[in-house]
Structure 1
Amino acid sequence: MMHPPIFDVCAADAAVTALLGTDPTRLWPFDDAPQGGALPYAVWQIIPGGSPENYLADRPDVDSFMLQVDVYAGSVASVTAVAEALRDAIEGHAYIVRWGAQDTSPETGHRHISFDVDWMVHR
């Protein structure tokens, strides 16, 4: 697998789908979020820094990915609830390594929270 299973893990979590829905679950790869889509939603992207777990005697059996997750919602309470649900779903499978921005878009008024994840994927 050349991508971490973030969608599968989060879409299987009842707390996440209670907030981000099903069919579709509003957790999109970075460039796939629909323009003007329903709130709240989250996007993720692979950021530079991941690598295969290299060995001298064998091929890698683990790929390491660094992800940035961005959550958008109409209120502080909603964006916080989604970020916490995603955190709780992800932490059983990967490591949250950075809490990022908490801000409000001047263009849309949408609230935003960002965090980074290190995800080790066994081949």
Structure 2
Amino acid sequence: MIAPIFAVCAASQAVNSLIGGDTLRLYPFGLQDDNVIYPYAVWQNISGEPENYLAQRPDADTFTLQVDVYADTPDEVITVAAALRDAIEPHAYITRWGGQEIDSDTRRYRYSFDVDWIVRR
């Protein structure tokens, strides 16, 4: 019931070089409430459903995820978003390039995008 975004991104050397270290700074549920180190990214399911059939159980689930990247500079936020894009695209579809803004809560640069993922059971 969860898309494998963390595993896919953790396997990327480019992603690890930007938001890695002791732990990958890619957090689920759209939240990062730990010791904040920039840059980092969060993700969350914004929709999804099983591939339902009349004659059998679903064999796949579809998910739409929202990914948000936070960083100290515009160049840094775009570089991290591009590395995440490059890691994700062989496995799923980027379906929306979202806002580029200064986040009102963190006062850091934020870049948002959506991913559609089909996960076989």
Q: Identify the residue that residue 77 of structure 1 maps to in structure 2.
A: 75
Shift of the 19–62 alpha-carbon distance from structure 1 to 2, 3 Å rule, reads same
| Shift in Å, 1:106 | 4.1
Shift of the 36–110 alpha-carbon distance from structure 1 to 2, 3 Å rule, reads farther
C-alpha distance in 1, partners of 2:101/2:111? 7
Which residue type is aligned with residue 11 of structure 2? A
C-alpha distance in 2, partners of 1:108/1:15? 25
Structure 1 alignment gaps of length 5 or more: none
C-alpha distance in 2, partners of 1:59/1:22? 40
Counterpart check, 1:13 vs 2:12: yes
C-alpha distance in 2, partners of 1:113/1:11? 19
Structure 2 alignment gaps of length 5 or more: none
**TM-score after normalising by structure 1:** 0.92
Q: Identify the residue that residue 45 of structure 2 maps to in structure 1.
A: 46
Match for 1:88 among 86, 89, 99? 86
**Size of the alignment, in residue pairs?**
121
What root-mean-square deviation, in Å, do the aligned CA atoms of Structure 1 and Structure 2 show? Answer: 1.3
SS in structure 1 of the partner of residue 87 of structure 2: helix
Identity %: 58
